[in-house]
Amino acid sequence: MANIDYGNMPTWISAIGTTGALLISTVLLRKALKERTEALDEKKRDQASKVSAWMDGESRSIRVRNGSEAVVDECFVFVWFKRSGLPPGSNEVTRAELPIIAVPPMTTREIELPWEEPLQWSLSGVQFRDSKGRRWKRSMGEGLVELLPPWEAPLLARVLRFLKKVVKRKDRDG
């Protein structure tokens, strides 16, 4: 049998310790980055989370509350309604956008429905722009969602990156 030299034991222990320390520091770094990202996201959503809308069936109005310390503007509420006088069994439903424009800080704005007799109506959601210029939408089904500009949408970004590569290749080849 051949005599195999595995090196000395302190070198092996040092290598294993170094590898373990590297793995632990990588895990801790990932955890810290995740916590930081979550904190930044929460800070970004802070003002938007304080804007809400609800309907008041008795007064036939919609109220939008800005509980933040800064104005929100470009505010719209979305309403689904079904007019009276339609044939029985008709499911014709219309969606309307009602502008509120701006809601000052710590204020509730009220908008009355402009229709006389919709048979049924419901609030679908509210859309607005916060003081940092970010657009938000709060809907009854999705909750609070940031509306990205079209050029930041994930699919469009991938398509644009692909097109840049294709154009670079054509410039290089042609």
Measured between alpha carbons, how far is 39 from 149 in angstroms, rounded to an integer? Answer: 22
Q: Which two tokens stand for residue 13?
A: 């222990």
Q: Which two tokens stand for residue 82?
A: 């079904």
> What predicted TM-score, i.e. pTM, was given to this entire model?
0.64
| C-alpha dihedral (162, 168, 169, 173), degrees to nearest 10 | 160
Cβ atoms 125, 138 nearer than 8 A: yes
Question: Hey, where are the domains in the chain?
Answer: 48-155
Measured between alpha carbons, how far is 151 from 39 in angstroms, rounded to an integer? Answer: 25
Q: How far is CA 158 from CA 33, 51, 145, 150, 152, in A?
A: 24, 32, 21, 12, 10
48-155 is classed CATH 3.40.50: no
**Range scoring the smallest mean pLDDT among 27-36, 42-51, 83-92:** 83-92
The one-letter code for the residue type at 17 is G
Is residue 111 pLDDT above 80, yes or no? yes
CA angle 100, 110, 108 (to 5 degrees): 90
54-105: per-residue pLDDT in tens? Answer: 988 777 788 999 999 999 999 999 888 776 666 666 667 778 888 988 999 9
Is residue 1 pLDDT above 60, yes or no? no
